């Protein structure tokens, strides 16, 4: 199922007027228990964003400028909630109020690319002081219940309101990062570009944030439900946003009667098989492949990996989703036919962010003698044709096989600039660097240190994964080649080692 990304990314916040972050001072106009539609509309704003997208093909260039429209809404004093993808890579953000031509400059306070949420503030809140602050509902709307989607979709300049019915509650990928899955609610109302970041309401309560649509189906949209929103807002109460935690396990359903018998399981429809445990993850050393997971925090896990939560059957990882770094989760497992209890202290798995699209970061690179080196990540993978099987394998195994323990970066030779020094080297572009002069390259900074050493060897011998021969660079000729390449390619800097 292909999801259509409708906005950009940022975000981390706190519940409506219930936290000190969203309400650093008493609100000028407390929200009444039931707001009229006209009051809700006042607090839904149009967001215009001018963006600059980095160019990973020529990483020294400033990147492409573009723009977009999204929606946001007021949840606290000078706190506007929207999608991260609405404001990602933003260079200028302007907020417009319903029925007014005035534009208010705004900035991002917090951004959560993994949950596609962002919190904004305007430079001058005076004109918004009397606006109602919308409340985030504590629960998930029931199936078949009706909701309203409010926003500024393409096709007009004025506010749009559509109605839909909650048709599915699921655990699905979020398009913005391409690497994160969370709870989603599907509704049979179209969510078009521009709707992103707008409130989905029942009565006067916000039950979700509109964020993506299904390209292959009409009148099908998705919203980020309130548990995900509330977690984001809770996370940023300390003034910073932390990544989601992860157990670090891969599970497999146990439907097959023969498999259940092989693992000494009764025919009760409970339990999933643990197939992999990520190195250095919270579960590493506590959970093993071939363990059977039977329950999470007392909630039984069925053979498809689902638990019952708030009256709905959801993916068992939803229990982990609602926790934070340092929290304890209790698992009931069966190992070699014997049941046991395991307590795990949760933490993020930073290495897994390799598979997430990065925003608000400049591409890292090193140019040496006409050879351009870059660290492998999803941004680079998506923007260049990396077809070499060794590069693909390194990318796929980076976390699963613990490659990150030895190599912080997988460094790739992405370009070979035309120069006498690089003659006959063009065919090596797209290969990953293994060693230089017999030393394994740990990351891009390490490669740069080797190639710019104060007392270099006569030759740099660059070994590439899968290459029929190494590349030989005479160290005495690199400086002259750098000067030629920099001049002819209009390259302002020969390296960028920081994000």
What is the C-alpha separation between 463 and 438, in angstroms, rounded? 8
What is the C-alpha separation between 275 and 472, in angstroms, rounded? 43
CATH 2.30.42.10 given to domain 249-345 = yes
The residue from 115, 160, 196, 281 that is catalytic is 196
CA dihedral sign of residues 192, 194, 195, 197: positive
Residue 469: Cβ within 10 Å count: 9
The residue from 16, 88, 113, 116 that is catalytic is 116
What is the C-alpha separation between 148 and 303, in angstroms, rounded? 35
Confirm if 379 and 356 have CB atoms less than 8 A apart. Answer: no
Q: 265, 246, 266: which is closest to 179 by C-alpha?
A: 246
Confirm if 252 and 300 have CB atoms less than 8 A apart. Answer: no
User: Which neighbouring-strand residues pair with 209?
Assistant: 224
What is the C-alpha separation between 400 and 406, in angstroms, rounded? 13
What is the C-alpha separation between 393 and 345, in angstroms, rounded? 31
pLDDT at 218: 67
Cα distances from 149 to residues 105, 189, 205, 223, 478, in angstroms, run 25, 8, 12, 9, 59
Please count the CA atoms within 13 angstroms of the CA of 274 that sit on its side-chain side.
Answer: 25
What is the C-alpha separation between 225 and 310, in angstroms, rounded? 13
Give the architecture (CATH level 2) of 362-496.
Alpha-Beta Barrel (3.20)
Q: 9, 378, 371, 17: which is closest to 196 by C-alpha?
A: 9
Q: Is 176 assigned a catalytic role?
A: no
User: What is the b/e burial string over 420-440, where b = at least 16 CB atoms within 10 angstroms of the residue's CB?
Assistant: ebbeebeebbbbbbbebeeee
Kindly list the averaged pLDDT for each block of 10 residues, start to end, along the chain of length 499: 33 32 38 73 96 95 93 97 97 92 96 97 95 94 94 88 93 92 91 92 95 74 95 95 93 95 94 96 96 97 93 90 95 96 96 95 96 97 92 96 96 96 94 98 98 96 97 97 96 94
DSSP 206-264: EEEEEEEEETTSTT-EEEEEHHHHHHHHHHGGGSS--PPPB--EEEEE---HHHHHHTT
Domain boundaries, the chain: 3-236, 249-345, 362-496
Q: 201, 217, 278: which is closest to 246 by C-alpha?
A: 278
The residue from 16, 43, 85, 113 that is catalytic is 85
Q: Is 475 assigned a catalytic role?
A: no
CATH 3.40.50.880 given to domain 3-236 = no
Q: Is 182 assigned a catalytic role?
A: no
Stated as kind and residue range, the H or E segment containing 369 is: none
pLDDT at 473: 97
**Pairing assessment for the beta strands 146-151 and 338-345 based on DSSP bridges:** unpaired
Q: Euclidean distance between the first and final Cα of the chain, in Å?
A: 32
153, two tokens: 């979709």
What is the C-alpha separation between 9 and 119, in angstroms, rounded? 10
Residue 37 sits at φ, ψ, to 5 deg, of -55, -40
Please count the CA atoms within 13 angstroms of the CA of 47 that sit on its side-chain side.
Answer: 40
Q: 247, 329, 339, 342: which is closest to 286 by C-alpha?
A: 342
**What pTM value is reported for the model?**
0.88
* Long-range pairs of 152-159 with CB within 8 A, sequence gap ≥ 24: 152/46, 152/69, 152/70, 152/71, 152/194, 152/195, 152/198, 153/190, 153/191, 153/192, 153/193, 153/194, 153/195, 154/69, 154/192, 154/193, 154/194, 155/192, 158/98, 159/41, 159/44, 159/98
């Amino acid at each position: 199922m292909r999801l259509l990304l409708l906005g950009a990314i940022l975000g981390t916040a706190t519940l409506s007027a219930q936290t000190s972050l969203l309400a650093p001072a008493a609100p000028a106009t407390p929200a009444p228990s039931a707001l009229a539609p006209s009051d809700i509309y006042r607090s839904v704003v149009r967001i215009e964003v001018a963006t600059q997208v980095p160019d990973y093909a020529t990483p020294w260039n400033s990147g492409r400028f573009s723009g977009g429209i999204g929606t946001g809404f007021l949840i606290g004093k000078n706190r506007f909630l929207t999608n991260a993808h609405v404001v990602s890579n933003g260079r200028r953000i302007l907020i417009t109020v319903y029925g007014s031509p005035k534009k208010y400059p705004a900035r991002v306070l917090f951004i959560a690319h993994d949950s596609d949420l962002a919190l904004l503030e305007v430079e001058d809140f005076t004109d918004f002081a009397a606006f109602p602050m919308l409340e985030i509902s504590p629960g998930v709307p029931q199936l078949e219940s009706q909701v309203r989607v409010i926003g500024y979709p393409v096709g007009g300049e004025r506010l749009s309101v559509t109605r839909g019915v909650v048709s599915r509650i699921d655990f699905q990928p979020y398009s913005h990062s391409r690497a994160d899955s969370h709870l989603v609610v599907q509704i049979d109302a179209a969510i078009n570009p521009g709707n992103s970041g707008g409130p989905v309401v029942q009565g006067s309560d916000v039950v979700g944030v509109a964020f993506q649509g299904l390209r292959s189906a009409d009148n099908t949209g998705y919203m980020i439900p309130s548990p995900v929103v509330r977690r984001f807002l809770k996370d940023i109460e300390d003034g910073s946003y932390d990544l989601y935690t992860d157990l670090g396990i891969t599970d497999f359903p146990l439907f097959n009667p023969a498999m259940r018998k092989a693992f000494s399981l009764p025919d009760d429809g409970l339990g999933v098989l643990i197939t992999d445990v990520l190195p250095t993850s919270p579960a590493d050393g506590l959970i093993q492949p071939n363990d059977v997971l039977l329950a999470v925090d007392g909630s039984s896990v069925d053979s498809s990996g689902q638990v019952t939560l708030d009256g709905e059957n959801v993916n068992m990882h939803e229990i982990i989703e609602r926790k934070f770094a340092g929290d304890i989760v209790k698992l009931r497992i069966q190992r070699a036919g014997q049941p046991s209890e395991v307590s795990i202290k949760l933490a993020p798995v930073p290495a897994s962010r390799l598979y997430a699209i990065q925003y608000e970061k400049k591409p890292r690179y090193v140019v040496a003698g006409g050879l351009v080196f870059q660290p492998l990540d999803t941004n680079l993978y998506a923007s260049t044709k990396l077809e070499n099987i060794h590069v693909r394998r390194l990318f796929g195994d980076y976390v699963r096989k613990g490659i990150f323990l030895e190599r912080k970066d997988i460094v790739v030779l992405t370009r070979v600039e035309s120069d006498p020094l690089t003659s006959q080297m063009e065919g090596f572009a797209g290969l990953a660097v293994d060693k230089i002069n017999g030393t394994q390259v740990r990351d891009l900074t390490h490669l740069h240190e080797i190639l710019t050493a104060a007392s270099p060897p006569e030759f740099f011998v660059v070994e590439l994964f899968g290459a029929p021969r190494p590349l030989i660079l005479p160290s005495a000729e690199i400086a002259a080649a750098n000067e030629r390449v920099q001049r002819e390619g209009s390259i302002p800097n020969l390296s960028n080692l920081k994000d």
